[in-house]
A and B are shown apart, each in its own frame.
Chain A
Amino acid sequence: MTKHVARLRVRRGTADAPAHRYQEFAVPFEAGATVLDALIRIRAQQDASLAIRYSCINANVCKECLIAIDGEVGYACTTRLRHDAAMTLDPLPGKPVLRDLVTETRPPRERLK
């Protein structure tokens, strides 16, 4: 059986150093796997500096992993991976970027300053 690969183009950069570049990662494709599964795998095996906000992992209750996937706003934890074309991941539009896919989504009253 042919092993499929999922390719992800991920927007990188921090608030201090906003980069307007995408970095491409490839992970083995598994049926049913999600975008968040792939990002967690990339962090563990390829690049621990990649940042994505999540807490409940796959239950879709914390609602922290909202990003833009191929231009559409969606949850990384419930959007399925695909192997037929690269998927492009951007931070949630309209929010200040902290790092990579992490935006400032904390309510103002829940910040230190």
Chain B
Amino acid sequence: MTDIATDILIVGAGGAGMYAAIAAARAGAERVLLADKSLVGRGGATIMAQMTVAAALGEECPDDWQAHLDDTLAAGRGLCDENLAALLCRAAPARIREMQEWRVGWARREDGRIAQVTAPGHSRPRCCYVDFLNTGPAVAATLRRQMGQIPAIKRVSNLAVTDLVVSDGEAAGAVALDIAAGEPVTIAAKAIIIAAGGLTRIYRRNSASANMGGDGYALALAAGAELVDMEFVQFFPIGHLAPRLVGMDPIMWDPFRYKLGGRLLDAAGREFLADYGSDETSGYTTPRDIATYAIEKEVAAGRGSPHGGVYLSFTHVPRSALEAAFGPVIERLARNGIDLGAAPVEVAPIAHYHMGGIAVDKRMASRVPGLFAAGEAAGGANGANRLSGNAIPEALVFGEQAGRAAAGYAASRKIPDWRSGAGTAAADQIRSLAAGRKGDIAAVELLDELREVMWRDVGPLRAADGLARGIAKLEDIRMALPQVAVPAGRQYNAALAEWFELRGSVLAAQAVAYAAATRTESRGAHQRDDFSDTDPAWARSQRIAMTSGGALVVEARK
């Protein structure tokens, strides 16, 4: 078995993990291990980002970080952790300028300033981007390049952390599955940062990468950390639905609306957003939570499009304007049989981002000493609804803070000595599964079932009866884990990694469902048909922890 010792272990190599590695090395950490289930800098959400990155740069008009904070808090519907939101908004401009120095290639205005567009919920043009729809790949490639110049950072692809090891109440390392070899690896670490992203992959309709099944949350829960705001899943309102589109992220209509407006129509060709209090006469202004609610209600009322969504139309936009705004993307659409000048497309809500996550203080420290979180994995900054464009700055800013804080924590500590037996059960579990296990059903099949349950019962519109049914079904899936079949085999046995994914996803799903069931009101991304009003008494976050018996407990805090 491979045994590794490191100052800092980072779980997940998207934007937050890569920046955390850079920051930890910059703060003096001599050994940083950056592990990813997928390929470093290729999996996760960062690389999927199409366009907007919010930062109060003031390139288009005067701006300051407090104005960005005001917009973030308003979008969060009263639930943002103000310390975290302030950190995000205050530090974002420095990170975005630094990316420019690292040659990320932000789109420029004719006068050479960085171009910034107004995204819904922002009081002014504040969102920069890389053309065309290339923000995420450009950010990921830039961070990879920077890491390549830092010898202290050891990157490992296809290394899936399955269990954290806590010794005397302090984070002490992890056991991981080396996917390529199919063998366990132990990693003794002075500090750990979870940067494994969110949980949108636990929904049938999602814009996630394959590796965003909520395992970072499950690791944190099992290690003794708390989760916060788990009921708040952002359903991006206009995810692509039909005709079938490949080679592009399903949320790619957002940039089209930033640049060209576009009209959202019901089956009869009628604009309906005004019925929900959001008139778009001054452009694309409807916040995500309200647009999702409006579309779900239209479809439920029988006014939806043939595939169960609504129409998004650009047929009124001149072809020259389409070409000017999106150049080569128009050709990619044509290859999918889509001609925006001729016909509308069908769109519908799709799980896109998770506001909740691991509860951290403003140093990104969880309540378990030595365990930190960053990026989408950390909860609280975005409250009940995330403002467009805040995800990439969050990854960079929180990654920087977590990397620096973890390096400081590790500096005063020796490599922890695991108590005898620590990690043994986790390593044995990997070996035992690799030897094969007879069973009734494959993990990948149960994962599909879990996604269906979450979409139907814990989705964009919720009610007590559906939530109760979903909770019961999730408990059945969790109980079925020992009966899951795993084909024998070590080298790149995907079924092995999927068993662990299922174990993590079902915990993350339960956390969402329990928190959704106890919040008897509607707020932001959490909409209940049986409690349709926002209740001022509920202007507080809920936290979830795991008991020693493995049960999840929800508690509300002021």
Residues of A at under 8 Å CB distance from B? 14-16, 31-34, 43-45, 48-49, 51-52, 54-64, 77-78, 80, 98-99, 102, 104-107, 109-113
Contacts and interface: CB of A to CB of B under 8 A. Distances in A.
Q: How large is the interface on B (under 10, 10 to 19, 20 to 34, 35 or more residues)?
A: 35 or more
A62 B38 contact: yes
B246 interface: yes
A109 B489 CA distance: 25
A48 B498 contact: yes
Interface of A is mostly: loop
B5 to A, nearest CB: 14
A78 B246 CA distance: 6
A112 B2 contact: yes
A34 B250 CA distance: 15
Nearest to B487: A49
Contact of A61 (B40, B136, B208, B246): B136
A95 to B, nearest CB: 13
Contacts of B44: 55
A51 B38 contact: no
Contacts of B39: 55, 62, 64, 105-106, 110
Interface string B36-49: 00111011100110
Given A55-B38, A55-B211, A98-B180, A14 B491 contact: yes
Instruction: Name the residue among B43, B159, B244, B487 with the largest chain A CB count within 10 angstroms.
Output: B244
B51 to A, nearest CB: 13
10 contacts: A48-B442, A48-B445, A48-B494, A51-B494, A55-B43, A55-B44, A56-B43, A56-B210, A78-B247, A112-B178
B47 A51 contact: no
Contact of A64 (B42, B159, B444): B42
B278 interface: no
A113 to B, nearest CB: 7
Contact of A49 (B43, B159, B247, B489): B489
A104 to B, nearest CB: 7
B209 A57 contact: yes
B445 A99 contact: no
Contacts of A77: 246-247
Contact of A48 (B47, B181, B250, B495): B495
Contacts of B137: 61
Interface string B237-280: 00000011011111000000000000000000000000000000
Interface string B141-174: 0000000000000011111000000000000000
Nearest to A106: B157
Contact of A58 (B47, B247, B485): B247
A92 B75 CA distance: 46
Contacts of B159: 112
B180 A104 contact: yes
Given A44-B444, A99-B489, A110 B246 contact: no
Contact of A59 (B155, B211, B249): B249
A93 to B, nearest CB: 18
A111 B185 CA distance: 13
Contacts of B244: 31-33
Interface string B183-216: 0010000000000000000000000111100000
B493 interface: yes
